[in-house]
């Protein structure tokens, strides 16, 4: 039996955001089974892409996110979330800086089916 005290600590989003400034580079803060919780800062336009094998959840913590689709758009405000279904082409956009959490399976590339200069390294933990 291990008598060492356990360290139970909540994940503090403000503290985690203080660890990075770069945009469009999701950082993993937790895992639940095979799903990762990622914090990211974004501003401006992303690339059109889809994720053929998974849904993607966007939870806005600060700022206002617009997710464009080929046939419309949705605006997600602080305290709101939106799930983009697998295979649906989309393009996130933020007029000012947005801080948000992404929830997606481990190993999902942020640019999905459209790799390029905005493709972030996977599994970067903070």
Report the CATH number that the domain containing residue 74 is assigned in CATH. 2.60.120.10
* Number of domains comprising the chain: 1
> What pLDDT, on the 0 to 100 scale, is given for residue 61?
98
Check pLDDT > 60 for residue 1: no
Q: pLDDT of 74-105, one tens digit each?
A: 999 999 999 999 999 999 999 999 999 999 99
Q: pLDDT of 39-78, one tens digit each?
A: 999 999 999 999 999 999 999 999 999 999 999 999 999 9
Quick check: is 13 in a domain? Answer: no
Quick check: is 15 in a domain? Answer: no
- 93: Cβ contacts below 8 Å, ≥ 6 apart: 44, 45, 46, 65, 66, 67, 68
Q: Which two tokens stand for residue 11?
A: 């994940």
Closest residue by Cα to residue 60 from 36, 42, 86, 44 = 42
Range of the domain at 74: 22-105
Quick check: is 4 in a domain? Answer: no
């Amino acid at each position: 039996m291990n008598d060492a005290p356990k360290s139970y600590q909540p994940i503090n989003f403000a503290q985690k955001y203080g660890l990075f400034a770069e945009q469009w580079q999701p950082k993993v803060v937790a895992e639940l089974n095979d799903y990762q919780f990622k914090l990211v800062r974004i501003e401006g336009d992303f690339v059109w892409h889809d994720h053929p094998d998974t849904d993607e959840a966007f939870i806005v913590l600060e700022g206002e996110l617009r997710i464009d689709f080929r046939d419309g758009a949705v605006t997600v405000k602080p305290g709101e979330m939106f799930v983009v279904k697998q295979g649906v082409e989309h393009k996130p956009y933020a007029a000012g800086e947005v801080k948000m959490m992404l929830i997606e399976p481990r190993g999902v590339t942020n640019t999905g089916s459209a790799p390029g200069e905005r493709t972030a390294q996977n599994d970067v933990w903070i």
